[in-house]
Amino acid sequence: MDILLASLVSAVLFIIGCIHMYWLFGGRGGFLIAVPIRTDTKAPFFKPGRIEIAAVILIFWAASALLLMEAGVIPVIGPSWLPSFAGWSLALVFLLRAVGEFKTLGFFKSIRNTPFARMDTLFYSPLCLLLCALTTWMMVIS
């Protein structure tokens, strides 16, 4: 069961990394609903550059690999405690992302009338909560 859960969560993280790779190489489809924007000026709260996008790709793909290591799908590279630590850390990060920072993202955000905010409410935050639950379940049963 933990192999199935690890494979599922890892696949989602890998696909998210691939979407970021598309943006890294100049694609712009979906980019406007991926970054929170201000309601008054319609300007983004931040403009991720190529280095930031590349770092996000590496983080998503490393997390994907570490979950597969935790489930025993691929061999552990590095310290033996790292996959377990990463799994529990990911579960916490997913939970914190779902809750949000109370302004621009998460279930408890105050800005709710932008394209990003609507996608966050309907898709991003529920996905993070689901990934938190699946990762936690995987860690408990492994």
The residue whose two tokens read 């933990």 is 2
**Residue 35 class from Cβ within 10 Å (0-12 exposed, 13-18 middle, 19+ buried)?**
middle
Give the C-alpha distances (Å, rounded to integers) separating 73 from 4, 28, 59, 112, 113. Answer: 10, 34, 19, 40, 42
Mean pLDDT, residues 2-11 taken together:
95
Taking alpha carbons only, the member of 60, 55, 105, 106 closest to residue 86 is: 60
pLDDT bucket at 39, cuts 50 / 70 / 90? confident
The pLDDT value recorded for residue 99 is 97
The pLDDT value recorded for residue 42 is 85
Determine the Cα–Cα distance for residues 133 and 142; give it in Å rounded to an integer: 14
Tell me: pLDDT of 106 over 90: yes
Does the predicted model carry a pTM greater than 0.85? yes
The pLDDT value recorded for residue 1 is 79
- All residues at 6 or more sequence positions from 3 whose CB lies less than 8 Å from its CB, including other chains: 71, 72, 73
DSSP 109: -
